[in-house]
C-alpha cells in the first residue's frame, strides 16, 4: 500500500510537472515567432561550439595516419591499434560529448582508458522515452554514448576515389586519447590524398572504388521477398542441424555453430532473436522525450543517443545536403540499391531539393537488399570526404526488418549523422502478402493489372513494382541519386494530385515561381512585384537585395539552390519523362552548403565576416 501511494504521488508529481512544462512551452510557442526560435537555436549552437574542446578532425587525422603507417608496414602495432586487431574506438573520441562533462570529466581523468563503473552504467540505463528535462536528457545521452553505445564494426574512410574500410577492435576499454588537437582542413585533405594514392591496389584494407550512378537500375523481383525462416533453415543445414524451424527447436543442441563464420553466427542469433520478439518488441529507433519539447516535437527527428541540442532549420538543411550525397555514393560503391520517395520526392518535384521544413530523408530499399546491407555493414561509421565536411554517419539496422511483426518497427534502418543526430530513414519494401487497396491499380489497363505486383512497407504504403522500376538517375540536393520510374501515380496516391501541381502554400512557406523556391512567409508572403529580382537581367544566379524582399538569408538560400532548381526545371519538368540527356556530362553539382561545424567555428573564430551558409566545393572525384 505504502509503495502504491508513493508511486501514485510520484506519478501525480510527474503529471504536474508535465502540465507546468506544457504551459511554459505553449506560452513560448504562441508568443515567440519562428524567427526568434531559429535565432535562439543558432545562438545556442554558437555558444556550445565555443565552449567545446572537441575537434571533429582529430579522430579523422588519427585514422588517416594509422592507414598510412599500415601501408608502410602492415605488421606493425601503432597508437591506434594494428591491422590484425583493428583500431581502438571510443565514442568520446568521435563525438562531442561536452554535454556529459558534469559527470564524465572525473572519469576521463581517473580512468584514462575510457572505462565506466556501475554508477555511470546505471545512470544512463534509462529509456530515451522517459520524459525529463532537456539538461538531464542530454547528460544521460552523453553518458550512454560514453559507456554503453555499441561500437562500430568498422570505420569507412572516404577519399576522392575509394572507400577504405578500417576494422574496429571490439574490445572496449581502450581509446586513442582524448584528442583536442585542432587540424586545419588542408592537413586532413593532404592525409586523405596520401592514403588514396596508395590504396588503389592495397591488400591491407578492403577498398571499394567510388563509381558514378547509372542512368537506370533494374532490381529483380526476388529482392522483394525474404523469409527469416528460410534464412534460418539455410544456416541450420550448414551447421548440420535438422531442418525444422519450429520455435520449440530453437535451442536444440544438434547444430554446430562453429561451422558458421563469425558473421553467419551473428546473423543466425539475430534471426532467432528478431523472429521470436517481432510481435512484442518496442520501437528499436528512439528519440529523446523532453518536457519542453512536448508540443514542438523537434526531438522527433533527432536520434538517441546522438541528440545534444535542437537543430535550426538552416543547419538541418546543411546536414541533409551533405548526407544525401554521402549515402548514395556509399550505396553505389557497395552495390546497394535505394531510392528517395515520399516527402523527399515531393520536395524534388518542385525544385530538385528537399523542402526547407522537411526534417528527414525518406529512402526505400528492397528487403533482400537491406538484409545484405545489414549482414555486411550494420554498425559502420562512414566518414565524409574531408574535402567537403566533417560529418560522420553511423549505419544501424533494426533487427525487426525481417518481418511485419507488431508494426511498431516500420523504420528498418538509419543512416545517422552523429554530430547532430539527424538521419536518413530507410523502409523496406517487400512483395505483399496482404490484400492491396483497389486504388493501387487505378488507371491501369486490364493487361497491366494482371502483371502488376503489389509491394508494401511496414507502414502500409503501397506501390507497384512496375511503378518503381527501373529506377531513374536524378540530381537531388545537387547530388546524384535515384528516384522511382513513375512518380506521378505514387504522389497522386500518397498526397493527391494537387499537392504537387498547384499547391503553392505549405507550412508557413509560399512557393515563388519566378525564383523557383519556397520562401518563408515571415520574409515575404508573395513575389514582390515591380522590382527586378535578380542582380542583373542576364545573370539570374543571384537575387538583388530588393528582389530578395530585403532578406540576406533569402539571397543566401537562393544562391545555394539556384543550380539544382535550374537543372530540375530544364530537364525534369515532365516528371515521368525527363528530357533525354547524356549522363556522362550531367555531373553532380558542387556541395553548396557549408559544413555545420565549420559554420559555427568560422563565426566564433572570426574567420568570416558574414553568416552565410553558401559555399562551393566542386566535386573532384568521378
Ligand X SMILES: *[C@@H]1O[C@H](CO)[C@@H](O)[C@H](O)[C@H]1NC(C)=O
Return the number of the residue (255 or 278) whose C-beta is nearest ligand X: 278
Q: Please, where are the H alpha helices in 469-522? A: 488-495, 498-501
Shortest Å distance, C-beta 465 to ligand X: 25
Return the number of the residue (54 or 91) whose C-beta is nearest ligand X: 91
Asked if residue 556 binds ligand X (CB under 6 A), the reply is no
C-alpha cell of 115? 572505462
- Per-residue x/- mask for ligand X, residues 571 to 590, rule CB under 6 A? --------------------
Return the number of the residue (394 or 518) whose C-beta is nearest ligand X: 394
Return the number of the residue (32 or 263) whose C-beta is nearest ligand X: 263
- Cβ proximity of 205 and 74 under 8 Å: no
Strand-pair category, 392-397 with 86-87? unpaired
- Cβ proximity of 168 and 36 under 8 Å: no
Mapping DSSP onto H, E and C, the string for 106-168 reads: HHHHHCCCCCCCHHHHHHHCCCCCCCECHHHHHHHHHHHHHHCCCCCCEEEEECCCEEEEEEE
- Cβ proximity of 404 and 458 under 8 Å: yes
Site for ligand X in 141-170 (CB under 6 A): 150
Strand-pair category, 454-456 with 162-167? unpaired
Strand-pair category, 361-366 with 423-431? parallel
The footprint of ligand X on this chain (CB under 6 A) covers a number of residues equal to 8
Q: 316: helix, coil or strand?
A: helix
Cα–Cα distance measured from residue 31 to residue 379, given in angstroms and rounded to the nearest whole number? 43
Site for ligand X in 185-224 (CB under 6 A): none
Return the number of the residue (261 or 529) whose C-beta is nearest ligand X: 261
Shortest Å distance, C-beta 374 to ligand X: 4
Return the number of the residue (346 or 395) whose C-beta is nearest ligand X: 395
Shortest Å distance, C-beta 305 to ligand X: 12
CA dihedral 278, 279, 282, 284 (to 10 degrees): 20
Return the number of the residue (314 or 392) whose C-beta is nearest ligand X: 392
Asked if residue 63 binds ligand X (CB under 6 A), the reply is no
Which DSSP helix (H) or strand (E) runs through 465? helix 465-468
Return the number of the residue (58 or 397) whose C-beta is nearest ligand X: 397
Shortest Å distance, C-beta 330 to ligand X: 17
- CB within 8 A of 600, min separation 6: which ones? 45, 46, 49
Shortest Å distance, C-beta 270 to ligand X: 4
Asked if residue 399 binds ligand X (CB under 6 A), the reply is yes
Asked if residue 412 binds ligand X (CB under 6 A), the reply is no
Site for ligand X in 447-476 (CB under 6 A): none
- Cβ proximity of 427 and 365 under 8 Å: yes
Shortest Å distance, C-beta 544 to ligand X: 51
Return the number of the residue (268 or 613) whose C-beta is nearest ligand X: 268
414: nearest Cα among 306, 333, 308: 306
Cα–Cα distance measured from residue 367 to residue 223, given in angstroms and rounded to the nearest whole number? 6
Paired with 454 in beta bridges are 464
Closest CB to ligand X: residue number: 150
DSSP secondary structure string, 297-323? -GGGGS-TTT--S---HHHHHHHHHHH
Cα–Cα distance measured from residue 43 to residue 589, given in angstroms and rounded to the nearest whole number? 31
Q: 444: helix, coil or strand?
A: coil
Q: Determine which residue in the list 318, 378, 512, 555 makes contact with ligand X, applying CB under 6 A.
A: 378
Which of these segments, 99-107, 316-324, 394-402, 593-601, binds ligand X (CB under 6 A)? 394-402
Cα–Cα distance measured from residue 121 to residue 83, given in angstroms and rounded to the nearest whole number? 31
Return the number of the residue (167 or 191) whose C-beta is nearest ligand X: 167
- Per-residue x/- mask for ligand X, residues 106 to 135, rule CB under 6 A? ------------------------------
Shortest Å distance, C-beta 415 to ligand X: 13
- Per-residue x/- mask for ligand X, residues 335 to 374, rule CB under 6 A? ---------------------------------------x
How does 123-137 read in b/e, with b if 16+ C-beta sit within 10 Å?
bbeeebeebbebeeb
Shortest Å distance, C-beta 375 to ligand X: 8
Return the number of the residue (324 or 428) whose C-beta is nearest ligand X: 428
Asked if residue 379 binds ligand X (CB under 6 A), the reply is yes
Distance from chain centroid for Cα 354: 14
Shortest Å distance, C-beta 304 to ligand X: 13
C-alpha cell of 256? 554446430
Shortest Å distance, C-beta 90 to ligand X: 16
- Per-residue x/- mask for ligand X, residues 250 to 289, rule CB under 6 A? --------------------x-------------------
Shortest Å distance, C-beta 372 to ligand X: 11
Distance spanning both ends of the chain, measured CA to CA? 71
Which of these segments, 134-142, 304-312, 393-401, 542-550, binds ligand X (CB under 6 A)? 393-401
- The residues that touch ligand X, with contacts defined as CB under 6 A, are 150, 270, 374, 378-379, 396-397, 399
Amino acid at each position: 500500500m505504502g509503495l502504491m501511494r508513493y508511486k501514485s504521488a510520484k506519478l501525480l508529481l510527474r503529471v504536474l510537472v508535465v502540465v507546468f512544462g506544457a504551459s511554459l512551452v505553449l506560452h513560448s510557442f504562441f508568443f515567440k515567432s519562428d524567427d526568434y526560435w531559429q535565432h535562439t537555436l543558432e545562438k545556442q549552437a554558437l555558444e556550445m561550439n565555443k565552449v567545446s574542446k572537441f575537434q571533429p578532425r582529430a579522430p579523422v587525422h588519427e585514422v588517416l595516419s594509422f592507414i598510412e603507417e599500415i601501408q608502410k608496414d602492415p605488421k606493425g602495432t601503432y597508437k591506434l591499434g594494428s591491422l590484425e586487431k583493428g583500431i581502438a574506438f571510443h565514442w568520446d573520441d568521435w563525438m562531442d560529448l561536452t554535454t556529459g562533462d558534469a559527470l564524465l570529466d572525473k572519469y576521463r581523468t581517473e580512468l584514462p582508458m575510457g572505462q565506466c563503473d556501475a554508477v555511470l552504467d546505471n545512470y544512463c540505463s534509462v529509456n530515451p522515452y522517459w520524459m525529463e528535462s532537456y539538461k538531464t536528457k542530454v547528460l544521460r545521452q552523453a553518458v550512454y554514448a560514453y559507456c554503453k553505445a555499441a561500437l562500430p564494426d568498422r570505420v569507412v574512410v572516404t577519399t576522392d576515389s575509394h572507400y577504405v574500410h578500417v576494422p574496429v577492435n571490439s574490445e572496449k576499454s581502450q581509446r586513442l586519447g582524448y584528442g583536442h588537437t585542432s587540424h586545419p582542413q588542408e592537413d586532413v585533405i593532404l592525409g586523405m590524398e596520401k592514403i588514396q594514392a596508395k590504396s588503389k591496389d592495397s591488400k591491407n584494407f578492403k577498398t571499394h572504388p567510388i563509381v558514378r550512378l547509372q542512368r537506370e537500375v533494374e532490381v529483380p523481383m526476388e529482392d522483394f521477398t525474404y523469409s527469416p525462416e528460410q534464412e534460418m533453415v539455410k544456416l541450420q543445414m550448414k551447421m548440420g542441424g535438422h531442418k525444422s524451424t519450429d520455435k520449440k527447436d530453437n535451442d536444440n543442441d544438434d547444430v554446430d555453430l562453429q561451422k558458421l563464420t563469425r558473421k553467419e553466427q551473428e546473423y543466425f542469433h539475430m534471426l532467432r532473436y528478431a523472429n521470436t520478439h517481432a510481435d512484442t518488441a518496442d520501437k528499436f529507433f528512439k528519440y529523446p522525450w523532453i518536457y519542453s519539447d512536448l508540443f514542438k516535437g523537434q526531438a522527433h527527428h533527432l536520434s538517441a543517443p546522438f541528440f545534444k541540442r535542437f537543430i535550426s532549420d538552416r543547419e538541418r538543411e546543411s546536414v541533409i545536403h551533405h548526407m544525401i550525397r554521402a549515402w548514395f555514393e556509399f550505396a553505389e560503391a557497395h552495390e546497394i540499391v535505394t531510392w528517395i520517395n515520399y516527402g523527399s520526392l515531393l520536395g524534388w518535384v518542385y525544385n530538385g531539393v528537399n523542402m526547407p521544413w522537411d526534417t528527414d530523408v525518406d529512402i526505400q530499399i528492397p528487403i533482400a537488399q537491406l538484409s545484405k546491407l545489414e549482414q555486411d555493414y550494420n554498425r559502420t561509421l562512414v566518414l565524409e570526404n574531408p574535402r567537403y565536411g566533417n560529418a560522420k554517419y553511423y549505419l544501424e539496422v533494426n533487427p525487426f526488418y525481417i518481418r511485419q511483426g507488431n508494426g511498431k518497427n516500420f523504420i528498418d534502418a538509419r543512416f545517422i549523422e552523429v554530430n547532430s543526430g539527424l538521419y536518413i530513414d530507410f523502409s523496406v519494401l517487400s512483395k505483399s502478402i496482404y490484400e492491396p487497396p483497389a486504388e493501387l491499380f487505378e488507371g491501369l489497363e486490364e493487361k497491366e493489372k494482371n502483371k502488376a505486383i503489389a509491394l508494401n512497407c511496414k507502414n502500409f504504403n503501397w506501390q507497384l513494382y512496375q511503378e518503381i522500376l527501373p529506377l531513374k538517375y536524378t540530381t537531388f540536393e545537387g547530388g546524384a541519386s535515384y528516384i522511382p520510374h513513375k512518380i506521378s501515380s505514387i504522389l497522386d496516391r500518397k498526397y493527391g494530385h494537387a499537392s504537387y501541381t498547384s499547391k503553392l502554400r505549405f507550412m508557413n512557406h509560399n512557393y515563388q515561381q519566378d525564383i523557383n523556391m519556397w520562401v518563408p512567409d515571415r520574409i515575404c508572403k508573395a513575389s514582390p512585384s515591380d522590382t527586378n529580382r535578380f542582380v542583373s537581367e542576364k545573370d539570374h544566379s543571384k537575387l538583388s537585395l530588393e528582389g530578395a524582399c530585403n532578406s540576406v538569408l533569402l539571397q543566401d538560400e537562393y544562391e545555394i539552390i539556384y543550380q539544382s532548381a535550374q537543372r530540375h526545371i530544364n530537364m525534369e519538368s515532365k516528371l515521368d519523362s525527363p528530357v533525354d540527356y547524356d549522363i556522362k556530362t550531367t555531373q553532380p553539382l558542387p556541395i553548396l552548403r557549408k559544413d555545420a561545424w565549420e559554420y559555427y567555428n568560422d563565426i566564433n573564430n572570426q574567420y568570416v565576416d558574414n553568416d552565410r551558409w553558401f559555399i562551393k566545393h566542386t566535386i573532384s572525384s568521378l
